Amino acid sequence: MTRIRKTGTILTAILLGYIAFTYLAVLAVDFLNLFDIQGLLLDRNVKVPLLWYLLFAEEGPTEIFQYLSNIASVFVLGILAGAMLVKKSPLTKYFLIFGVAMGLLLLEDTGNLRHMIRSTITHLLGMEEGFRSLLGIGVEVAIYGLFGFLMLFSLYKIRHVVLAFPRVLKFLLVGYAFYALAAMLSASRNFMNWYSNLGEAIIERLNLRAMDAWVVGGDALMDEFGRRLGFFLIDTLFEEALELIGAGLIFIGLLTLLLSLKENGFRHK
């Protein structure tokens, strides 16, 4: 059990260490411009010469680590379901449901599944296909709610197994909380444009547009997406970090559960 505990501790340290390191790097480069690294990015004609965008934007390193965490979770849940099937355990189907939920979450993260569903529904109803549609927000909340329900339902059904390993429960619940928070923030991001307004308030308060990189980056993102820089500051730097922590902790919890069950021959109450 000590070895299993060490594995969980090491993986958690790596996860939180990555977040801490990237945030410190962003502080040094984007907010303080130490060693004029912003100038180097500008000289190389980087489209958005801001480290926080390069690290946390869609398909950037942070999101890729999130994909890998979710893929690993689906894989671990598949092994757990297979082991339960061999033992002819009635819990098999609940591990499968958990795996399906994580798989759907992976599809959403990699392919923006909720955006496609929202667009289809608003189009069929003849509504304006805008990001700011209240129906669109409702659809996104419903989709995230479905994912969350499937995960909580399956977790409740396997609770007797999980409760035997308190660290597993802590990892899963804290990871779920981070993911749920990120999901609710994302689903409501266009309500009264609060993402943009909050991000712009931070930029203005810190006078960040006094640095050329912020001006160039803001112009590039406005030209490509039609959104203000403040929106992306919240959408990437903060939301993606929450999602990675959530995905990482869920994976660590599931891996800890697998190793713990394997150690006792997959016997459970």
pLDDT in tens, 32-72: 999 999 999 999 999 999 999 999 998 899 999 999 999 99
User: What pTM did the predictor assign?
Assistant: 0.92
Convert the pLDDT of each residue in 112-163 to its tens digit. 666 677 667 666 666 554 544 667 677 778 888 888 899 999 999 999 999 9
CA dist 188 and 198 (Å) reads 13
Convert the pLDDT of each residue in 217-266 to its tens digit. 999 999 999 999 999 999 999 999 999 999 999 999 999 999 999 988 77
Q: Is the pLDDT of residue 192 over 90?
A: no
CA–CA distances in Å: residue 193 to residues 143, 189, 203: 21, 7, 15
Task: Calculate what percentage of the chain has a pLDDT beyond 90.
Answer: 72
- For residue 11, name the pLDDT band (cuts at 50, 70, 90): very high
